[in-house]
Amino acid sequence: MKKWTAILFVFLFAAIALAQQGQEDEMMRKMLLERIKMVEIELARMKEMYAQRFGKLDEKPKPPASIPVDLKPGELLFILNDGSKLKGTVAISDFKLKTTYGTLTIPLKDTQRITFAQISKSGGGEKRLEKQQVVTAEFTAKGIVEVDKFKIRTGRGELTVPKSDIRQILFAPQAGREKKFELKPTGQWLDTGIKLAKGDKLTISAEGTLELKDDVQFKPDGSQADPPGKPATDLGVRIAGVSYPLMARIGEKGKEFKAGSSCDKQADEEGTLYLKIQISEAAKKFVDSLKGSYKVKVRKGSTVAKPTEAQEMAASQALGRARYFDQANPYEDKEIVAAKYKEVVDKYPGTAAAKEAAEILKKVMKRKR
């Protein structure tokens, strides 16, 4: 009997313990549910704040646009945090950038873009930069742009936009600047300091010669020639395989390409432009006897964005209106007709309609009337 009583007490205590555990579990469950509700409420509030400032979370942010083709010299494109855009001019001619190494005064005419916030490539939203990134024709720098507000003159009046509301500022492409370099046959790469973005237009031209003992000249394209006024010699035969062509590459590990005496191309990658005179294996023994150098000119043109579908359509409609005017007014002065086609060319550069309008414009100007 005592044995069974002891067993009964054991089961009883176990049941009480389980009941207490169950109560504790239920309390824990309720507490966690309350916390989950609080987190959901806070998350909903944060989503609402995010949507008000940056747009809905399920909308993948669009990367900053490249410079539009209709941005005229002197105009700036302000891309705001909500994705809206403002195009206009500003009264200032330069701005100050406070960097770790001092304060720079940067002219607007030399600036290509200023980035205040970056878009995550994975679509994770936008991040404000502690230091803004400024890209100019000569260099890229990071620092604090010491302008609190921008007064923007638009076609509808003047607006004042705080710096904190701006994601990026794009500047109209400036005319390409030419830089000059003198290269000697060292076989070493020269850092030109010219920063290229993918798609930038690059023009390299070189002149001058390297002369070997007054007998033969070497040109930037890698060819050989007898010096002017000197009789032909058989030296060219004896130094076959010797050449000193001008080479280039974009980036420290970029693919080398021959620039020669003249080279026009679009940058196929991003990086700094490097130049050197390449010395062939057979040419190494003549290096110390060479005189002269290559005079190299480099011109960089800014990237121009490819026309959008909307711009192509607008250009096509504008061309249609110009054609209608031309056909409906057969006795109109050719200068007035030409102005209609020229408007298409100037307003929509790079579009198929603008190219067609340019061809028609040439024909219009040849008319007698």
- The string of pLDDT tens digits covering residues 4-57 is 565 555 556 665 655 666 666 777 777 877 777 777 777 777 777 666 555 555
Mean model confidence pLDDT for the chain: 78
Q: Is pLDDT of 66 > 60?
A: no
Residues written for the chain: 369
Per the structure block, which two tokens stand in for 170?
Answer: 């794009």
Q: Among 86-90, 307-311, 316-320, 351-355, name the one with the lowest average pLDDT.
A: 307-311
Residue 200, pLDDT above cutoff 90: no
Q: Which of 159-163, 223-227, 279-283, 354-358 has the highest mean pLDDT?
A: 159-163
How far is 49 from 184, CA to CA, in rounded Å?
A: 61
Which residues face 79 on adjacent strands? 85, 168
Q: Note whether 303 and 200 are within 8 A (CB).
A: yes
Tokens of 32: 């966690």
- Whole-angstrom distance, CA of residue 125 vs CA of residue 54: 8
Going by pLDDT thresholds of 50, 70 and 90, the confidence category of residue 145 is: very high
Q: Are 206 and 259 in contact (CB under 8 A)?
A: yes
Least confident stretch, 151-160, 173-182, 242-251: 173-182
pLDDT for position 83 = 82
Predicted local distance difference test score (pLDDT) of residue 235: 46
In one letter, which amino acid is 53?
R
Higher pLDDT, 151 or 243: 151
Residue 22: per-residue pLDDT = 62
Question: Which pLDDT belongs to residue 60?
Answer: 42
Q: Which pLDDT belongs to residue 289?
A: 84
Whole-Å CA distances, 61 to 113, 120, 151, 211, 260: 19, 8, 26, 58, 44
Give me the mean pLDDT over the 206-224 stretch: 84
pLDDT tens-digit map of 266-318: 888 888 999 999 988 888 888 888 888 999 999 887 554 567 787 888 889 99
Counting Cα atoms < 13 Å in the Cβ hemisphere of 192 gives 28
State the number of CA atoms in the 13 A half-sphere of 111 facing the CB. Answer: 26
State the fold for domain 177-301.
Jelly Rolls (2.60.120)
Contact 275/231 with Cβ under 8 angstroms? Answer: no
Residue 71 pLDDT greater than 70, yes or no: no
Please determine, for residue 247, whether its predicted confidence score (pLDDT) is greater than 90.
yes
pLDDT of residue 274: 94
Residues facing 146 on adjacent strands: none
Token pair for residue 99? Answer: 């960097």
* Range list of H helices, the chain: 2-54, 235-238, 309-328, 334-347, 352-365
Domain boundaries, the chain: 24-59, 76-171, 177-301, 309-365
Average pLDDT over residues 345-353: 79
What is the percent of the chain with per-residue pLDDT over 90, rounded to a whole number? Answer: 18
Rounded Cα distance, 236 and 215, in Å: 9
- How much is the pLDDT for 9? 56
